[in-house]
Amino acid sequence: MGLSESDLVESPLAFRTASVTDIPAVVALVESAYRGDASRKGWTTEADLLDGQRVDAAGVADVIAKPESRVLLGESDNRLNVCCHIEKQGAACYFGMFAVDPSRQGGGVGKATLARAERIARNEWKCTKMEMTVISVRDDLIAWYERRGYRRTGVFKPFPYGDERFGVPKRDDLRFEILAKPL
């Protein structure tokens, strides 16, 4: 017997699509999950790899405004716990900007949100594949996705060194790898 989303999380998530009024909360959540000391409370931190920002308000506004794009929010107890961006790109759906409040990491919130995003891609947008880019040295994060059916493709994209909108690298060996999962 499979688990439902509500079985996976400490308290049930209410999902909804972000609007422009949610932009400050989305930016704050993403920053807390990946940058600075607050991010070290969870396991998804990139604080040892990158300084600077992870996302900005203009970038979030852009993806909210795009057609066939959605920023999915998961809330419980009147609090934003998780977000992700999904975007239909032909037969594939891109998954990104995935952030879970560091205090909620490890409780199933991420699994439930990824499952919801996959259902939207498959059922609403009729996508046959989900794709994402992950910093290739993030072995723990890649392993988490692999346990959920994603596979490394061996296709790499360069890290945008010099573009501080994506952070200030602390290493010179960063690059993205595309992970993919058939839906």
Q: How confident is the model at residue 11 (pLDDT cuts 50, 70, 90)?
A: low
Residues 164 and 99: their CA atoms lie apart, in Å, by: 19
Residue with the larger pLDDT of the pair 23 and 106:
23
Q: Which of 66, 45, 28, 181 is nearest to 119 (CA)?
A: 181
> Which CATH class for the 5-131 domain?
alpha beta
Single-letter code of the amino acid located at 159:
F
Question: pLDDT (tens digit, 9 = 90+) per residue, 150-179?
Answer: 999 999 999 999 988 888 899 999 999 999
Domain ranges of the chain: 5-131
Residues 101 and 135: beta-carbon distance below 8 Å: no
Band of residue 60 on the pLDDT scale cut at 50, 70, 90: very high
Cα(46)–Cα(77) distance, integer angstroms = 27
